[in-house]
């Protein structure tokens, strides 16, 4: 009996940052929350891949979401 499994989803840092930025803009999460807050919005199977990409880029789950987003440009100063 053969079991077909889906390949793991790959997340790039750019994709993660875009998704996080969207959640912040919607007001679902804030820049002051820790990165591990994102696990509420990512399926567990995909979280492992996302966590690996963050670690590869030297982010810790206790770091703030604002650290992940980095520098942002503001249009209305």
Q: Give the tens place of pLDDT for each residue, 14-65.
A: 999 999 999 999 999 999 999 999 999 888 888 898 999 999 999 999 999 9
What's the confidence (pLDDT) of residue 65?
96
- In this structure, are residues 69 and 24 in contact, taking their beta carbons and an 8 Å threshold? yes
| The pTM of the whole model exceeds 0.85 | no
Residue 6, pLDDT above cutoff 50: no
pLDDT recorded at residue 45: 86
At 77, is the pLDDT very low, low, confident or very high (cuts 50, 70, 90)?
A: low
Backbone angles phi, psi at 49, to 5 degrees: -70, -40
| Best CA proximity match to 50, nearest among 58, 39, 40 | 39
Of 39, 30, 37, which Cα lies nearest the Cα of 69? 30
């Amino acid at each position: 009996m053969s079991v077909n499994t889906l390949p793991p989803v790959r997340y790039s840092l750019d994709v993660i940052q875009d998704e996080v930025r969207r959640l912040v803009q919607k007001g679902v999460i804030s820049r002051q929350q820790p990165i591990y807050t994102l696990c509420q919005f990512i399926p567990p199977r995909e979280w492992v891949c996302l966590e690996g990409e963050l670690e590869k880029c030297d982010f810790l789950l206790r770091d703030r979401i604002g650290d992940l987003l980095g520098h942002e440009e503001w249009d209305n100063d």
